[in-house]
Structure 1
Amino acid sequence: MQKLLFFLGFLFCYTLVNAQVINIENLRKDVDDTGFYGTVSLDLELSKNTNTIFAISNELRLQYTSGKNNFMLINEVDFKELNKNKYTNKSVQHLRYNYSLTKTTTLEAFIQIQKDRVSFINHRTLIGAGTRFKISKKPNYRFFIGTLIMYEHENSLGVHQDVIDQDFRANMYVSFGLYPSKNLRIINTTYYQPKIKTFSDYRVSSETTLGITVFRNLLITTSFSYQFDTLPVLGVPLTQYKLENGITYTF
């Protein structure tokens, strides 16, 4: 137990000093019991956007549920090797609060801080709130829809100087999970995020994750994510994708 706590503490500290759309649904644990739940994961990545990247990343997620209240804290970090001789980092800190109004309707509020050197984002802060709807929940199938509004403050790399962008975006998502057996899960989430005043400026992000339980608390995961941005940061392609294989430990 002491070794496990030391390992988790090390990963937590590492994330704090290092983390375009973060897939919260893939990280969410749908539980009704009061108490803490958490996961820690380690991933290997090969991706292609503006560079060829090899990466090792880890993620720590803590969730606390008490009655109708649910709190979620996420720290995520990527350590990347670009073109075999350069390094970068990506970090995300996300805090979310959910309040269950009814069995099918939940209020959500969140704040997120992130940076992404590969996408030339020096700093991005998001603050949002909205509603999440449970369309269906069965032992082997779950389906949710979310509608939120968020304020975005972004500092990105420009031609001659940093570019500051401040605006409001809608954040709409569809998420479903398939659980065909006790040891197998398939989760997909798709986000659509247009600017409120200019709907032609939007982002689409979709991620599908396959998880296989190999031991009681240990999963092997394979994830594929796709992102499209009509007006990305200067120098970043409209389309980006990522394939990850890794392991996740739950506690």
Structure 2
Amino acid sequence: MAGRQSSRWVLLLVWLHAASAAAQIVNVQALFDENTGPGRSAAVDLGADWRTGSTDLFSVRGALLGQWRSEKHTWLAVIRGEYAFAANEVIVSKVMEHVRYRYGFTERLSGEVFLQHEFDKFRRIQFRALLGAGPRVRVLTDKQATLVVGLALMLEHERIRRDSEPDAGEFRTDPRLSSYVLGRLEFMENVFLVQTLYAQPRVTNPADIRLLNDTIFEVKPNERLSVGIGFNLTFDNSPPLGVPKLDTQLRTSVGIRL
């Protein structure tokens, strides 16, 4: 059983965006496969759009995820990027890398340490790095319902890209709290709802807060095929100049497990 899970690959063949978002909070918790056994697993997420005629658009996006689990230890690594070109202009250009380690003290309590880097041209982020750690508690572990809460203290370093805006080139290093609640509910056999809420206030100024609401509805007709619809909403109370405070994203996906 562990051998089968350690060689499992997931290929997402379709990833369509109905609205583009540039969220600063990344819902890494939803990427963990809580049901896999000890061993290695990996996933590839690929997608592209190419339109010509009345609308000229080229968009490509991809992600690579790897996970290793033992009885007490879990490692997760993610790298993903997106690039889009329309009407002779680049409209999306971003990349993110994230590494997370989790140690299980008991069945319900674990500790996490994580490191993350981001670049997002159109949120005017030239460089953003996070380093954080904190506890994670599984409040509910029923077969049909799971509820997890976590809290981390993280150090954030952010540098604004050099452009024509008044805050061009500015940088700052701030401590933030990162709290989240993750719930997973099985409505019926192979039909799931996954809900994640994040709040990340700046320690030295709690009014400077970032919020994320991420909702995923997933159907698994069989063990190899999954279909999902997701919506997320991100709010940043103090974004760089010229960047909106609110972002939304609607996405659909079809996955095949090999």
TM range (shorter): 0.7 to 0.9
Distance 1:171 1:36 in 2: 28
Question: Which shifted more, 210-219 or 85-94?
Answer: 210-219
Question: Which shifted more, 110-119 or 27-36?
Answer: 27-36
Structure 2 residue ranges without an equivalent (≥5): 1-7, 13-23, 50-56
- 1:178 pairs with 2:182: no
Q: Please, what TM-score do these two structures have when normalized by structure 1?
A: 0.83
Distance 1:234 1:61 in 2: 33
Pick closer, same or farther for the CA change 1:39–1:211 going to 2, 3 Å: farther
Q: 1:124: how far off?
A: 0.5
- Aligned residue number for residue 225 of structure 1: 232
Question: Which shifted more, 179-188 or 195-204?
Answer: 179-188
- Aligned residue number for residue 193 of structure 1: 200
Q: 1:150: how far off?
A: 0.3
Query: 1:189 corresponds to which letter in structure 2?
Result: T
Q: Determine which of 149, 153, 156 is the counterpart of 2:157.
A: 153
Q: 1:32: how far off?
A: 6.1
| 1:33–1:65 Cα contact (<8 Å) kept | yes
| 2:101–2:114 Cα contact (<8 Å) kept | yes
Distance 1:125 1:250 in 2: 32
Q: 1:55: how far off?
A: 4.7
Deviations 1:30-77 (A, max 9, x none): 1362101222234579xxxxxxx9854222211100110000011112
Q: 1:172: how far off?
A: 0.4
- 1:76 pairs with 2:83: no
Q: 1:79: how far off?
A: 2.2
| 1:43–1:244 Cα contact (<8 Å) kept | no
Query: 1:31 corresponds to which letter in structure 2?
Result: N
Query: 1:183 corresponds to which letter in structure 2?
Result: N
- 1:86 pairs with 2:90: yes
Percent identical: 25
Q: Determine which of 132, 140, 147 is the counterpart of 1:128.
A: 132
Q: What SS does structure 1 have at the residue aligned with 2:207?
A: coil
Q: 1:222: how far off?
A: 1.4
Q: 1:138: how far off?
A: 1.3
Aligned residues: 229
- Aligned residue number for residue 101 of structure 2: 97
Q: 1:216: how far off?
A: 2.6
Distance 1:108 1:57 in 2: 28
Distance 1:43 1:186 in 2: 23
- Aligned residue number for residue 48 of structure 1: none
Alignment of 1:17-28 (within 5 A): 20-28=24-32
Q: Determine which of 120, 129, 133 is the counterpart of 1:116.
A: 120
| 1:108–1:130 Cα contact (<8 Å) kept | yes
Pick closer, same or farther for the CA change 1:109–1:93 going to 2, 3 Å: same
Deviations 1:150-187 (A, max 9, x none): 00011113526311111100000011011223322211
- 1:203 pairs with 2:213: no
RMSD value over aligned CA atoms?
Answer: 2.5
Q: Which consecutive segments of 4 or more residues in structure 1 shift more than 6 A?
A: none
Distance 1:162 1:75 in 2: 25
Pick closer, same or farther for the CA change 1:55–1:209 going to 2, 3 Å: farther
